[in-house]
């Protein structure tokens, strides 16, 4: 049988909730063959990040070439790429390809731990975003990318447009989980806005939501879906993953990658 493939380039999470572990689970659930290039080995769990060790640039490149020269992916996503040297390497590898590329601009962990050097933000703006198909920042990440505060839906619309029109992405979806009211995300594709709304669930078990959302988008693009179709699939998937989130660990528990299989059943709050 034939199957589409997707590659994640990101850091690890030994507790399994975020990073490449979350990405590979999402790829599997969306029925694409998942592969990974590890940039950083992270000691973290539901309570936060304890330690980060970056792999060497030559070894990251060896991983990338090993995958690309054997099983060229149908779509790529990047998550935690913490240093300028990593970004320059990835930009050089992707700049002459036509493979859909999703950026989850992982800058700050839910615990507040910084995962990216400050100078790296300029490199992601200037070198990676112009290569991207979709960029998926949450509100704090979008604020760092565009340089202004996002408090309202109109602010989110403006930020998404800046990421596309000024920074060069094909599309951007600013996730509205940090805004008041409904969990409304704003997608801008260079021409039109699409609003993706879901119920807001009263849970703090949301570890890995950004990784999972962007991984589903990547998987759907690998299967040939449009940007809008891929983002809508990601929104539906992550809504179910949060609704049926897992009460594991002593902090922010992980989302449930098989939550979509539980549709119609009550979650742990009885909803």
Catalytic annotation present for 210? yes
82, part of any domain: yes
Q: Are 106 and 124 within 8 A, CB to CB?
A: no
Catalytic residue among 210, 234, 253, 259: 210
Q: The domain that contains 40 carries what CATH number?
A: 3.40.1190.20
Question: Pick from 130, 173, 125, 165: which is nearest to 145 by CA?
Answer: 125
Determine what percent of the chain is predicted with pLDDT higher than 90.
69
264, part of any domain: no
259, part of any domain: no
Catalytic residue among 83, 209, 212, 218: 209
Structure tokens at 47: 């309570």
270, part of any domain: no
Catalytic annotation present for 206? yes
Q: Are 189 and 165 within 8 A, CB to CB?
A: no
Catalytic residue among 208, 234, 253, 259: 208
Domain count, the chain: 1
Phi, psi at 186, each rounded to 5°: -120, 120
Catalytic annotation present for 209? yes
What is the residue range of 235's domain? 5-254
Residue 267: predicted pLDDT = 61
Catalytic annotation present for 168? no
Q: pLDDT tens digits, residue range 186-225?
A: 999 999 999 998 777 767 777 778 899 999 999 999 999 9
Residue 259: predicted pLDDT = 79
Residue 177: predicted pLDDT = 65
With a cut of 60, say whether residue 271 has pLDDT above it. Answer: no
Catalytic residue among 78, 83, 206, 239: 206
Structure tokens at 123: 């490199």
Q: pLDDT-derived band of residue 86, with 50, 70 and 90 as boundaries?
A: very high
pLDDT, mean of residues 8-16: 96
pLDDT, mean of residues 39-47: 94
Catalytic annotation present for 158? no
Describe the strand order of the beta sheet including 193-198 as a list of residue ranges. Answer: 33-38, 5-10, 75-78, 101-103, 134-135, 171-174, 183-188, 193-198
271, part of any domain: no
267, part of any domain: no
195, part of any domain: yes
Catalytic residue among 133, 203, 211, 212: 211
Task: Report the chain's mean pLDDT, rounded to a whole number.
Answer: 90
Catalytic residue among 77, 93, 110, 175: 175
Catalytic annotation present for 97? no
Question: Pick from 162, 6, 21, 139: which is nearest to 80 by CA?
Answer: 21
269, part of any domain: no
Q: pLDDT-derived band of residue 55, with 50, 70 and 90 as boundaries?
A: very high
Question: Radius of gyration over alpha carbons of the chain, in Å?
Answer: 17
With a cut of 60, say whether residue 256 has pLDDT above it. Answer: yes
Question: Pick from 110, 196, 126, 119: which is nearest to 168 by CA?
Answer: 126
The three state secondary structure string of the chain is CCCCEEEEEECCCCCCCCHHHHHHHHHHHCCCEEEEEECEEEEEECCEEEEEEECCHHHHHHHHHHHHCCCCCCEEEECCCCCHHHHHHHHHHHCCCCCCEEECCCCECCCCCECCCHHHHHHHHHHHHHHCCEECCEHHHHHHHHCCCCCCHHHHHHHHHHHHHCCCCCEEEEECCCCCCCEEEEEECCCCEEEEEECCCCCCCCECHHHHHHHHHHHHHHCCCCHHHHHHHHHHHHHHHHHCCCCCCCCCCECCCCHHHHCCCCCCCCC
With a cut of 80, say whether residue 235 has pLDDT above it. Answer: yes
- What predicted TM-score, i.e. pTM, was given to this entire model? 0.93
Structure tokens at 29: 């659930």
């Amino acid at each position: 049988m034939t199957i589409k493939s997707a590659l994640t380039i990101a850091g690890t999470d030994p507790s399994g909730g975020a990073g490449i572990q979350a990405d590979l689970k999402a790829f599997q659930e969306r029925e694409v063959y998942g592969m990974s290039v590890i940039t950083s080995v992270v000691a973290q769990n539901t309570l936060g990040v304890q330690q980060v060790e970056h792999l060497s640039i030559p070894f990251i490149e060896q991983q990338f070439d090993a995958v690309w020269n054997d099983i060229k992916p149908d779509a790529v996503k990047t998550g935690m790429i913490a240093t300028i040297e990593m970004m320059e390497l990835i930009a050089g590898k992707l700049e002459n390809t036509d493979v859909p590329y999703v950026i989850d601009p992982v800058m700050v962990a839910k615990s507040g731990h910084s995962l990216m050097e400050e100078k790296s933000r300029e490199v992601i703006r200037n070198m990676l975003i112009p290569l991207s198909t979709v960029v998926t920042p949450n509100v704090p990440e979008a604020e760092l990318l565009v340089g202004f505060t996002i408090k309202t839906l109109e602010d989110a619309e403006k930020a998404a447009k800046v990421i596309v029109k000024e920074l060069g992405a094909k599309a951007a979806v600013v996730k509205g989980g940090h805004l008041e009211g409904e969990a409304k995300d704003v997608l801008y594709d260079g021409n039109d806005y699409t609003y993706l709304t879901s119920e807001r669930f009263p849970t703090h078990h949301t570890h890995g939501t950004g990784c999972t959302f962007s991984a589903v988008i990547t998987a759907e693009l690998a299967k040939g879906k449009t940007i809008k179709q891929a983002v809508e699939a990601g929104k539906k998937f992550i809504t179910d993953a949060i609704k049926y989130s897992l009460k594991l660990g002593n902090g922010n528990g992980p989302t449930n990658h098989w939550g979509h299989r539980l549709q119609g059943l009550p979650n742990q709050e009885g909803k």
